[in-house]
């Protein structure tokens, strides 16, 4: 599935983002297993609540971390997350 930047982004049904003390990291939990995330990936997924589309997520991240020009990196991760079924688009 190709990212549609106009559609909102949400965690896929059956997937949950949570902090795991044992891994000392955020993870995505789903029926088939678990994926450990790096800090950047977790921050992106925290914004995948079904309220924001791609540009809104990028804008919020740029504000939160006082950075600019991260759109291509965020797009790359969101495409990976879509391809892996971790997120869906509304």
Which CATH number do you get for residue 75? 1.10.10.1150
Q: Are 85 and 12 in contact (CB under 8 A)?
A: yes
Residue 4, in any domain of the structure: no
Q: Answer whether residue 25 is part of any domain.
A: yes
Report if residue 90 sits inside a domain. no
pTM of the model: 0.93
pLDDT tens digits for 31-80?
Answer: 989 999 999 999 999 999 999 999 999 999 999 999 999 999 999 999 99
Q: pLDDT grade, residue 2 (50/70/90)?
A: very high
Residue 1 has pLDDT above 90, yes or no: no
pLDDT score at 55: 97
Q: Is residue 29 part of a domain?
A: yes
Residue pair 37/28 in contact by the 8 Å Cβ criterion = yes
Range of 32's domain?
9-84
Is 3 part of any domain? no
Q: How far is CA 59 from the centre of its chain?
A: 14
Q: How many domains does the chain have?
A: 1
């Amino acid at each position: 599935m190709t990212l549609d930047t106009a559609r909102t982004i949400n965690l896929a049904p059956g997937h949950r983002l949570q902090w795991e003390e044992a891994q000392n990291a955020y993870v995505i939990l789903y029926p088939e297993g678990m994926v450990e995330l790096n800090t950047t990936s977790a921050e992106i997924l925290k914004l995948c609540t079904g309220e924001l589309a791609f540009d809104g997520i990028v804008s919020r991240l740029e504000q939160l971390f006082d950075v600019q020009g991260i759109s291509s990196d965020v797009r790359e991760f969101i495409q990976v997350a879509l391809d892996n079924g971790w997120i869906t688009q509304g």
